[in-house]
Amino acid sequence: MALSIADLPKEELFGQGHAGCGGCGAAVAGRQAMKALGSRTIITIPASCMATMGGSNLKTTWQIPFYHTLFEIAPAVSSGIRAALDAQGIEDVNVVSWAGDAGTADIGFQALTGAAERNEHMMHVCYDNEMYMNTGGQTGSQTPMFAKTSNMSKGKMIKKKNMLAIMEAHEIDYVASASIAYPLDLIAKFKKAAEKPGFSYIHILAPCHRGWQIPAEKTIEFARLAVESGLFELYEVDEGKRTRTVEPIFIPVQDYLLPQGRFKNLTQEAIQGIQAGVNRHYGRGE
Amino acid sequence: MVKNLPVVPTAKAGSLVDTPTGITWRIQYPEILENCNMCLDCTLFCPDGAIVQQEGKLVLNLSLCKGCGICANECKENAIQMIPEYSGVQGVFR
Ligand SMILES: Cc1ncc(C[n+]2csc(CCOP(=O)(O)OP(=O)(O)O)c2C)c(N)n1
Ligand code: SF4
Ligand code: SF4
Ligand code: SF4
Ligand SMILES: [Mg+2]
């Protein structure tokens, strides 16, 4: 049955009064995800914008148990939380680790690959803003090629590492990409992941207007353009079965790239290369 | 003997909701117009949970809104208008 916004739970479990920037894409991701996960959820978040946004020891926006972990270990802490729940015979709780692109694909990767290998009963969520925002916007493995960041003023010269493919290779229960511009698709994927007995991985493209150098009100718009251009494919791999969940309409990739300050110096040659990559991926124009 | 674990100070759940941060730097605020068709899209796009659905109505809570303008940008009906907070040479705060 198709989801409708009117039927979603009304409770606001994350986001109201949060300590992050106005127009933050990560905050949107958190709010949408919590509509699917509900109050019986325990979440761990390593050092990142999302952790700082949640609050401090004194005040928090979270209405559910939230534990701010060290940078490298959120999926390991969540594995332990699941073991503790199991030991107490508590079954109805979603255990989630939620990290930025650095906390997932770079410094947090060891704990993530370990938890996925063990097929722990939990999910890991990567909210991807394609750079290290909480420390001023440095380049990482999820930064796309050519993007300028605070420590690479000429742009990154290597490609973005494909985290979804890496997680798919772990042969876990569920792998999905999601976008804050397609909330019902995102919520449906979280509901599926929550039902799995083993490990799930969800990778959300959540633009950061500061790092991407776009107007704050266009955070959702750019998340949508990424999907419409085909650069960020929305799909799921449910117990090995791969399905594309949103068909791109193939707007030219430059309509997504050029208005962003971080790509403003892209050459025509680079744009053609990126467009050719999209065409190849979807088997277009052959 | 089993030792007691240290007690870690813990924030009260949702305590930021009553004392939200960040809205003091707001420079514009949204106003919902009559042509709203209750599609509810804005309730899932607002990063701050400042527009929610309550008893079949759309409710805007300006004490949570940071004025980012996402709701106005996303509304397909153009039913949200952003209005500057400051007016006049002295910059009167509403
Ligand atoms: C072990 C360790 N190294 C470095 C840091 C500093 N640090 C805090 S957040 C962060 C970047 C986080 O980037 P990401 O995971 O992408 O989340 P974002 O801030 O972009 O939301 C870094 C490098 C730290 N807290 N701990
Ligand atoms: S820097 Fe970016 S990711 Fe961090 S709180 Fe601000 S908008 Fe969100
Ligand atoms: S997005 Fe626009 S039309 Fe839809 S509920 Fe919000 S204000 Fe109303
Ligand atoms: S301006 Fe931003 S914070 Fe305020 S209601 Fe609209 S989307 Fe929410
Ligand atoms: Mg990041």
Each residue's pLDDT tens digit, A19-48? 999 999 999 999 999 999 999 999 999 999
* Number of domains within chain A: 1
Residue A81, in any domain of the structure? yes
- At A219 the pLDDT is 98
Summarised one tens digit per residue, pLDDT across range A228-237 is 999 999 999 9
Q: Does residue A173 fall inside a structural domain?
A: yes
Paired residues of A59 in beta bridges: B12
Q: Looking at the CA of B69, name the nearest ligand.
A: 4
Token digits of residue B35 = 């042509």
The answer to whether residue A136 sits within a structural domain is yes
pLDDT band of residue B94 (cuts 50, 70, 90) is: very low
Contact between A150 and A138 under an 8 Å Cβ cutoff? The reply is yes
Q: How far apart are CA A28 and CA A17, in angstroms?
A: 13
Contact flag A217-B72 (C-beta cutoff 8 Å):
yes
A36 part of a folded domain? yes
DSSP A198-249: SEEEEEEE---HHHHT--GGGHHHHHHHHHHTTSS--EEEETTEEEE-S---
Answer whether residue A170 is part of any domain.
Answer: yes
pTM above 0.90, yes or no: yes
Instruction: Say which DSSP state A20 is in.
Output: S
Q: Is residue A44 part of a domain?
A: yes
CATH of the domain at A264: 3.40.50.970
Let me know if A57 is exposed, middle or buried by CB neighbors in 10 A (0-12, 13-18, 19+): exposed
The topology (CATH level 3) of B29-84 is: Alpha-Beta Plaits (3.30.70)
Ligand 2, atom 8, lies closest to the CA of A24
Residues composing chain B: 94
Cα(A198)–Cα(A207) distance, integer angstroms: 29
List the domain range (segments joined by +) for residue A210. 10-281
Q: How far is the CA of A265 from the centre of ligand 4 (A)?
A: 31
CB A99 less than 6 A from any atom of ligand 1: yes
Residue A103 lies in a domain: yes
Nearest CA in chain A to B66: A22
Radius of gyration of the CA atoms of chain A, in A? 18
**Which residues of A sit within 8 Å Cβ distance of B?**
5-6, 8, 10, 12, 15-25, 27-28, 31-32, 35, 55-64, 180, 183, 215-221
A121 lines ligand 2 (CB under 6 A): no
